[in-house]
């Protein structure tokens, strides 16, 4: 029999648990369906950032919340299957990474709340009807990839003064098309020709680099879960061709990329836990505005730069948020 002091202690601890945990049927924890757009390895740091913030908000995996993890390996058809599986499992909220996975989740359900941790252009790709009033069952965090495209082109030109021909590697998806158009428009305005290479499969990656050989002064890699899932292949081929490269996130820098510029993905995933928390406590996604990034990071991998014989100007390094030496 539970003693009175033990029962009071139990109540005191339970009072700190999120309210949604009490609303579930006996034995069922509120469940998050975690749909990573790439792979466990590529998404690892982002997943850790999400879980850390979730714990800070009082959600302890296995105690008062359950999490089902799935990864799409950068493939839209796999993301569609996994989203449908979450619907069958009747999860309480789906957290997704990337536009493609988010779009597939939206197609799979109009009822289960969906939070996208990162999405390049949620308005342009049709994820939400409005940033201020998303409507429907989808909300999340934008990383403004299309808006940052022009800045990435300018940064490349700064470190490659003779830049006249720019290779552009982009996976074929709705966001990729928007980013490609932005890169092409900005480059044309400053006299840079763009060689666009559309990636549909893993075999396309090596073939695209063969097509670039001797034709480009630098390489712009557009954001996509598919390219992120094949990050090491892309970086190895770029280094082998001694191409200055720019990428959309810090994770590419750590894997051996030369320059990265974009919103902090770790910050986006931490913030996504706050949105999931609100939904588990009863807030509707339609009432949660899409958050815009407040922090953009410029990173330089000097080891990679030296490996391809690229000298980064001192002024450029002084502006960088992170320099790997």
Q: Is the pLDDT of residue 10 over 60?
A: no
Q: Which of 13-27, 34-48, 294-308 has the lowest mean pLDDT?
A: 13-27
| Helix H or strand E segment including 104 | helix 99-108
Is residue 25's pLDDT more than 80? no
State yes or no: pLDDT of 16 exceeds 60.
no
99-108 and 174-189 helices, crossing angle to 10°: 150
Main-chain dihedrals φ then ψ at residue 98, nearest 5 degrees = 100, 155
User: Which fold does the domain 145-264+297-324 belong to in CATH?
Assistant: Rossmann fold (3.40.50)
**Mean of pLDDT values over 189-217:** 93
Q: Does the pLDDT of residue 254 top 60, yes or no?
A: yes
pTM for this one? 0.81
Mean pLDDT of 250-256: 90
pLDDT at 312: 97
pLDDT class for 22, splitting at 50, 70, 90?
Answer: very low
Q: What is the average pLDDT value for the chain, to the nearest integer?
A: 88
Cβ-count burial 265-282 (b if 16+ within 10 Å, e if not) = bbbbbbbbbbbbbbbbee
Query: What would the DSSP string read from start to end of 1-27?
Result: ---HHHHHHHHHHHTTS-THHHHSPTT
Span 234-249, average pLDDT: 94
Q: How many CB atoms lie within 10 A of CB 290?
A: 22
CATH superfamily of the domain spanning 4-144+265-296 = Response regulator (3.40.50.2300)
Please list the residue range(s) of the chain that carry CATH number 3.40.50.2300: 4-144+265-296, 145-264+297-324
Sign of the four-CA dihedral 47, 96, 39, 155? negative
Nearest to 152 by CA among 261, 303, 71, 43: 261
């Amino acid at each position: 029999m539970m003693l009175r002091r033990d029962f009071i202690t139990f109540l005191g601890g339970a009072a700190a648990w999120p309210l949604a945990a009490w609303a579930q049927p006996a034995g069922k924890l509120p469940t998050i369906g975690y749909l990573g757009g790439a792979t466990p390895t590529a998404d690892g740091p982002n997943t850790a950032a999400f879980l850390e913030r979730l714990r800070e908000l009082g959600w302890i995996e296995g105690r008062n919340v359950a999490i089902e993890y799935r990864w799409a390996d950068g493939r839209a058809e796999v993301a569609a299957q996994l989203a449908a599986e979450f619907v069958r499992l009747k999860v309480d909220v789906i957290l997704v990474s990337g536009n493609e996975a988010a779009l597939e989740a939206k197609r799979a359900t109009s009822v289960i709340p969906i939070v996208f941790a990162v999405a390049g252009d949620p308005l342009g790709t049709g994820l939400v009807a409005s940033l201020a009033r998303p409507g429907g069952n989808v909300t999340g965090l934008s990383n403004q990839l299309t808006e940052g495209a022009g800045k990435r082109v300018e940064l490349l030109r700064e470190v490659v003064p003779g830049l006249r021909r720019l290779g552009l590697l982009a996976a074929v998806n709705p966001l990729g098309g928007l980013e490609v158009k932005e890169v092409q428009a900005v480059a044309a305005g400053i006299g840079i020709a763009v060689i666009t290479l559309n990636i549909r499969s893993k075999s396309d990656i090596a073939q695209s680099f063969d097509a670039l050989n001797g034709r480009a002064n630098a390489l712009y890699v557009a954001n996509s879960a598919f390219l992120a899932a094949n990050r090491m292949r892309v970086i190895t081929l770029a280094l082998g061709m001694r191409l200055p490269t720019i990428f959309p996130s810090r994770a590419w820098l750590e894997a051996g990329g030369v320059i990265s510029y974009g919103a902090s993905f770790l910050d986006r995933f931490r913030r996504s836990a706050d949105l999931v928390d609100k939904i588990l406590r009863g807030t509707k996604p339609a009432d949660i505005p899409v958050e815009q990034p407040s922090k953009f990071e410029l990173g330089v991998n000097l080891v990679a730069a030296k490996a391809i014989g690229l000298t980064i100007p001192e002024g450029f390094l002084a502006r960088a948020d992170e320099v790997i030496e």
